[in-house]
C-alpha cells in the first residue's frame, strides 16, 4: 500500500510539471493607444492572453485521467481492506466457531456507525 502512495505522489508531481503555464500578469492594453497589429509587441500581448482549444481539451483529458486513476486506486484500497477483513473474520470463525458471530456483528455495526459519524 505504501509503495502505491509513493508512486501516486511521484505521478502527481510529474503531472504538475507538465501542466500548462498560465500568464502571471494581465496584458496592459491601454484603450486610447493606437496599436499596430503587425508589431511584435502586439503579437506578444495577444499571444499571452490567447487560449488554444486543443490545449484546453488536452488539459481536461489529463485531469480526467488523473481523477480516474485516483478513483481506481481508492477502489483498489477499499477492495483490499474488505478482503483483509473477510480473511480476518474467516480466521476467527475457524478458531472460535460460529457462536461468536452474533456478538461480533453487533460490535462491528457499532464501530462502523462511529466511523461514519
Highest mean pLDDT among 15-29, 47-61, 63-77, 80-94: 63-77
DSSP string, 64-113: HHHHHHHHHHHHHHHHHHHHHHHHHHHHHHHHH-STTHHHHHHHHHHHHH
Q: Is the pLDDT of residue 2 over 80?
A: no
Mean pLDDT along residues 66-91: 94
Question: Does the predicted TM-score (pTM) go above 0.85?
Answer: no
Which of 21-25, 38-42, 89-93 shows the lowest mean pLDDT across its residues?
Answer: 21-25
- Average pLDDT of the chain? 76
Mean pLDDT along residues 30-45: 77
Q: Is the pLDDT of residue 72 over 80?
A: yes
Mean pLDDT along residues 58-65: 94
Amino acid at each position: 500500500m505504501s509503495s502505491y502512495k509513493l508512486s501516486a505522489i511521484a505521478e502527481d508531481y510529474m503531472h504538475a510539471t507538465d501542466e500548462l503555464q498560465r500568464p502571471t500578469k494581465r496584458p496592459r492594453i491601454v484603450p486610447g493607444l493606437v496599436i499596430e497589429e503587425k508589431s511584435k509587441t502586439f503579437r506578444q500581448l495577444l499571444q499571452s492572453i490567447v487560449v488554444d482549444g486543443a490545449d484546453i481539451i488536452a488539459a481536461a483529458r489529463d485531469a480526467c485521467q488523473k481523477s480516474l486513476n485516483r478513483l481506481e486506486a481508492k477502489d483498489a484500497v477499499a477492495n483490499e481492506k474488505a478482503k483483509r477483513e473477510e480473511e480476518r473474520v474467516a480466521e476467527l470463525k475457524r478458531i472460535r466457531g460460529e457462536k461468536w458471530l452474533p456478538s461480533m456483528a453487533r460490535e462491528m455495526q457499532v464501530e462502523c456507525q462511529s466511523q461514519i459519524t
